Structure 1
Amino acid sequence: MEVISNGVRSIGNHSDQEMENRNPKVRAVNLGGWLVTEGWIKPSLFDAIPNKDFLDGTRLQFKSITVGKFLCAESGGGSRVVANSTGTSEVAKPPAGSSSRWETFRLWRIDETLFNFRVANKQFVGLNSGGDGVDLVATCHSPGAPETFEIVRNPDDVSRVRIKASNGLFLQVRTEKRVTADYQCNESNAWRDKDPSVFVMSFTKRLEGEFQVTNGLGPHKAPKVMREHWSTFIVEDDFKFVAENGLDAVRIPVGWWIASDPNPPPPYVGGSLAFLDSAFSWAEKYGLKVIIDLHAAPGSQNGWEHSSSRDGFREWGDTDDTIQQTLHVIEFLTSRYTKSPSLYAVDLLNEPLAEILPLETVTKYYRAGHNAVRKHSPTAYVIMSRVLGASGPELLLPVASGLDRTVVDTHNYVLFRTKFDTIQDNLDFIYKDKRAQLDRLATPDGPLTFVGEWAVEWTVNGATKEEYQKFAEAQQEVFGRATFGWAYWTLKCAKHHWSLEWMIKNGYIKL
């Protein structure tokens, strides 16, 4: 494998001018799940994780056997932990990035047996520092030894657990208003219904992203597993396949830690940059364009696993440090690949989420991101992803229109936007709503438009192959109106209809 330190050397027969003279529209495919992990794309990546029920970001609830109510961070955090929730108490004014209930605890995994519990207001559960030091509180913002716990499961009924605190004793519910870590317990203790240390544990959500797989595997296993994945999941033959099947570009999701390669901050694993180098070399060899997509920003821009969120909170943009760090990543990637004729575009930030992130923060970053790209490349297109949850991608037109070679990216998943049960309803939505949206975005002298992600999947049950083909044709026809083109999500996936490779090989889609 060739590792390139100062931009990628051209190894193909395609000059910069030849690439520039092509139709600006792309018919692309995403290389999802490769350099940024998404567990649903390749579930086997998580097979070697010990105690993998408890990954970072797993959301848990604990119901006391004795009082019949849930452990709860009073007021969502900043006070004591009690056991008086019936399971229906919503946060009155949830903090940014949180729709969780006060009785939901998010795991931070220390190792396969020890954990921190984070609550709705982002504090950590621990033992109080005053008095006898056994009362349970949620007041700490930086977890240490007093915020460390072990979950002990009943081997005969794994939904029943005890929670051991850092003092070696177990939590017990004394009353609905007081939970303490002072219960003596040993293996002879039965899991009785009258035992105040026994809880019924339930899972409400889990994350399976890059942070979860690398931290779950640990520093000894993770490097071997991840490098094996990178070297086998996407290979040179995949680029050949893409080029031979009517596509002319790839969109490659990357994470912010790639700019620190070969020594990214733990738990991330070094080595992914060499595979991105190889991707550019393969793209040049087969005459493909490359769109670099910053899929995961420091602190997570949306709280989802594909942005490598640790626990489901969005913390990108909370401080200027995360934005400056992100701009450094954009500069690093652009400067590294600016000499490659395959570098076609840089996607500044995938799917920022409006409901937990001010639009002004994103647009300010997009302007700075455009400048960061232009420092190193006068020709690469700069892609600005629509802010999900905002009123529409039209909100980006003012900022994008004032800058050169800009593209507005609107992801179009029919599956997540609607719940149409009939084939015709789905087709009508594509031909009417989605077509009208793309037409509205095509403003004179405005930015180009891009459908950066779409897939042939819907909520229709029992659809035939011919009906899937019709659905694929409709999306190609309408999304082909985007002035910058489209990119299918994704090339390879355990779920067949999301895998363009499977869809092509099995005749579901023709390009």
Structure 2
Amino acid sequence: MGNQRRWVLSFLFVFGIIALLPISESSPSHLNFFKKVKSVADAVGEAVAKAGAEALGASSFKVRGTNLGGWLLIEGWIKPELFNAVPNKEFLDGTTIQFKSVKTQKNLCANSGGGDFIVTSCDEACQFDHFRLWRITDNTFRFRVPKNQFVGLAETAVVAVVTNDTESAIFEIIRESKDSKLVRIKASNGYYLQARDDNSVTADVKTVSGWGSSDPTVFSITFVEVNMHVYIEGDFQLQNGLGSKAAQIMQEHYDTFIVEHDFELMSKYGINAVRIPLGWWTAYDPNPPFPFVSGTLKALDNAFIWAKRHGIKIILDLHAAPGSQNGVAHSATRDGSLEWGKTYDNIQQTLEVIEFFAKRYGQHESLYGIELLNEPLYPYVTLESIENYARAAHKIIRKYNPIVYMILSARLSFVDLDVPSPMELFPIANSLDHTVVDLHWYTLMPFPTSQENIDYIKTNRTHQMTQLLSDNGETLVYIGEWSCTWSAENPTTQDLKEFAKAQIEVYSRASFGWSFWTWKNALNDWSLKWLLENDIIDVNQIKY
């Protein structure tokens, strides 16, 4: 399937069969964020609060929404052609590569995983022979090893001892030909790397010729599949890969992928809300940090204008937090690393992003909710970290709007049998007013027939929904992502209609509502626009 979101579906227990397991124990947090929450600004009066409540539609309004995925936050599988303009696009940031010496038939590896020399002693079972790329230009890179050190030089010896990327060396990968697996690696000292007979690796060969099998400077490369995908295709990879072309290409995308006519169509088809995935750098527009370009903030402003004209509510979704909260493409990770929550400054920066959005849009009549963090990864993002962050963010949001909804996303897990229940968030949410818990229910069960998949929705999902609604207290439940992708073999159009209808009927029981992933997509089963235009889904005919 070639993308992280579809890859996650193969771990469908995360939000599927065992989505309602008992709450997991979480490790203690090392942070407390309250002391840095800024002092209260101008108070919002009771009259504003009352008007805001009326604008939100009080308790009668329920979200029948769509996500605007792939617009202001990139996921390559949604619009694959965006990556066509990236030169040398096999070598994106975060791509993991193995280098095998054609002479010794051993892989380059970081001794002990990092903090030592680079050697050629790994066979195919070695765990330390994965090098993650940090792209500098089309053909030059920094290499990051499994324990997160960067590769550098100690005179002519090749080592992996520094953790600061700017102190590491830059290497050029020179390919024999466009499709060849044979490469040479040229170090920043101007010399080529060679694999020696004693397993050491040095950068000390000045002149090379040919690509013979006994040449110690020639390596065979393998692109490694990590967590069922080879390439990370998010904003960092795209914008850094485009280089000087990024500003023009991204602006054209922002201007054309979602336009006002889309909001007009949504309203026509009965869609009343959009969840807009955002990256943290939007808060710094028009001068976002490297490698991001400007344009997302103006597009977001347009979305609020269009939403007001067409009677659509907006949920702002911080899909990519500073440092990445889950290490996958749609969190804008550079190389699969997860850094969110590891430092106080990181959390403070995230709170400042939330404040930027709350201040800019807090009094706009179309704002319906702010989602603090999409799919934080368990167990690396702890429950206590989420709680402290949520309480601090709640205070910030309430400075600008007394009743707009604050949304907490259930934690993501890539391990089938170690999944926290989304109900772990209910105690936090119940202690904060106007708070919602967001679950993502994708259904890719190993059922070959359409009816089995439909029955799973009607039986299993119905049971899960009943349990959620019986234990949620004052917390509202939101199915923030779902789709019509499934494993049924040779389904008919009518089968797909029944599958979609069954999901909508169950998810419409959620007290906050639902949002389909996503509005536009290269894959039809993931495109609500396509499903509506082809009469697969008719939102207005569903009984709520």
* Residues 371-380 or 300-309, more deviating: 371-380
State how 1:127-276 maps to structure 2 within 5 Å: 127-128=153-154, 133-144=155-166, 146-155=168-177, 158-175=180-197, 177-186=199-208, 189-204=209-224, 205-218=230-243, 220-276=244-300
**Structure 1 residue 76: Cα displacement:** 1.4
* Residues 297-306 or 444-453, more deviating: 444-453
Amino acid in structure 1 at the alignment position of 2:385: T
Q: Give the structure 1 partner of residue 25 of structure 2.
A: none
Alpha-carbon contact 1:16-1:341 (below 8 Å) kept: no
The alpha-carbon distance between structure 1 residues 487 and 355, as it changes in their structure 2 partners (threshold 3 A), is same
Q: Give the structure 1 partner of residue 465 of structure 2.
A: 438
Q: Secondary structure at the match of 1:375?
A: helix
Q: Give the structure 2 partner of residue 371 of structure 1.
A: 395
Q: Give the structure 2 partner of residue 409 of structure 1.
A: 438
State how 1:464-475 maps to structure 2 within 5 Å: 464-475=492-503
The alpha-carbon distance between structure 1 residues 348 and 190, as it changes in their structure 2 partners (threshold 3 A), is same
Amino acid in structure 2 at the alignment position of 1:51: N
Amino acid in structure 2 at the alignment position of 1:126: G
Q: Does 1:73 align with 2:98?
A: no
Amino acid in structure 1 at the alignment position of 2:450: I
* Residues 190-199 or 67-76, more deviating: 67-76
Alpha-carbon contact 1:65-1:198 (below 8 Å) kept: yes
Q: Secondary structure at the match of 2:180?
A: strand
The alpha-carbon distance between structure 1 residues 382 and 190, as it changes in their structure 2 partners (threshold 3 A), is same
Paired with 2:152 and 2:172, the residues of 1 have a C-alpha distance of: 12
Amino acid in structure 1 at the alignment position of 2:420: S
Alpha-carbon contact 1:67-1:176 (below 8 Å) kept: no
Q: Does 1:112 align with 2:138?
A: yes
The alpha-carbon distance between structure 1 residues 125 and 66, as it changes in their structure 2 partners (threshold 3 A), is same
Q: Give the structure 2 partner of residue 288 of structure 1.
A: 312
Unaligned runs of 5+ in 1: 1-13, 90-100
The alpha-carbon distance between structure 1 residues 420 and 71, as it changes in their structure 2 partners (threshold 3 A), is farther
Amino acid in structure 2 at the alignment position of 1:134: T
**Structure 1 residue 156: Cα displacement:** 7.0
Amino acid in structure 1 at the alignment position of 2:163: H
Match among 439, 451, 461 for residue 424 of structure 1: 451
Q: Secondary structure at the match of 1:477?
A: helix
- The count of residues paired between Structure 1 and Structure 2 equals 478
Q: Secondary structure at the match of 2:365?
A: coil
Q: Give the structure 1 partner of residue 349 of structure 2.
A: 325
Q: Does 1:45 align with 2:87?
A: no
**Structure 1 residue 359: Cα displacement:** 2.4
**Structure 1 residue 435: Cα displacement:** 2.1
Paired with 2:507 and 2:312, the residues of 1 have a C-alpha distance of: 20
Q: Secondary structure at the match of 1:267?
A: coil
The alpha-carbon distance between structure 1 residues 304 and 466, as it changes in their structure 2 partners (threshold 3 A), is same
Match among 488, 492, 507 for residue 520 of structure 2: 492
**Structure 1 residue 243: Cα displacement:** 0.5
Paired with 2:179 and 2:58, the residues of 1 have a C-alpha distance of: 65
The alpha-carbon distance between structure 1 residues 139 and 444, as it changes in their structure 2 partners (threshold 3 A), is closer
Paired with 1:314 and 1:382, the residues of 2 have a C-alpha distance of: 24
- TM norm structure 2: 0.85
Q: Does 1:454 align with 2:482?
A: yes
State how 1:90-101 maps to structure 2 within 5 Å: 101=127
Alpha-carbon deviations, 1:337-380, whole Å to 9, x = none?
Answer: 11211100001100101033222222221222222211211111
Q: Secondary structure at the match of 1:277?
A: helix
Q: Does 1:28 align with 2:55?
A: no
Alpha-carbon deviations, 1:167-202, whole Å to 9, x = none?
Answer: 11111110363111112334xx11101111111111
Alpha-carbon contact 2:142-2:168 (below 8 Å) kept: no
- TM norm structure 1: 0.91
The alpha-carbon distance between structure 1 residues 184 and 284, as it changes in their structure 2 partners (threshold 3 A), is same
Paired with 1:103 and 1:394, the residues of 2 have a C-alpha distance of: 40
The alpha-carbon distance between structure 1 residues 145 and 17, as it changes in their structure 2 partners (threshold 3 A), is closer
Paired with 2:501 and 2:480, the residues of 1 have a C-alpha distance of: 17
**Structure 1 residue 69: Cα displacement:** 1.7
Match among 483, 497, 508 for residue 536 of structure 2: 508
The alpha-carbon distance between structure 1 residues 180 and 444, as it changes in their structure 2 partners (threshold 3 A), is closer
Alpha-carbon contact 1:145-1:166 (below 8 Å) kept: no
Q: Give the structure 2 partner of residue 8 of structure 1.
A: none
Alpha-carbon contact 1:451-1:479 (below 8 Å) kept: yes
* Residues 258-267 or 79-88, more deviating: 79-88
Paired with 1:362 and 1:21, the residues of 2 have a C-alpha distance of: 27
Paired with 2:54 and 2:178, the residues of 1 have a C-alpha distance of: 68
Alpha-carbon deviations, 1:213-233, whole Å to 9, x = none?
Answer: 111111x21111111100000
Alpha-carbon contact 2:304-2:366 (below 8 Å) kept: yes
The alpha-carbon distance between structure 1 residues 156 and 348, as it changes in their structure 2 partners (threshold 3 A), is closer
**Structure 1 residue 488: Cα displacement:** 0.2
Unaligned runs of 5+ in 2: 1-50, 225-229, 414-418, 540-544
The alpha-carbon distance between structure 1 residues 241 and 170, as it changes in their structure 2 partners (threshold 3 A), is same
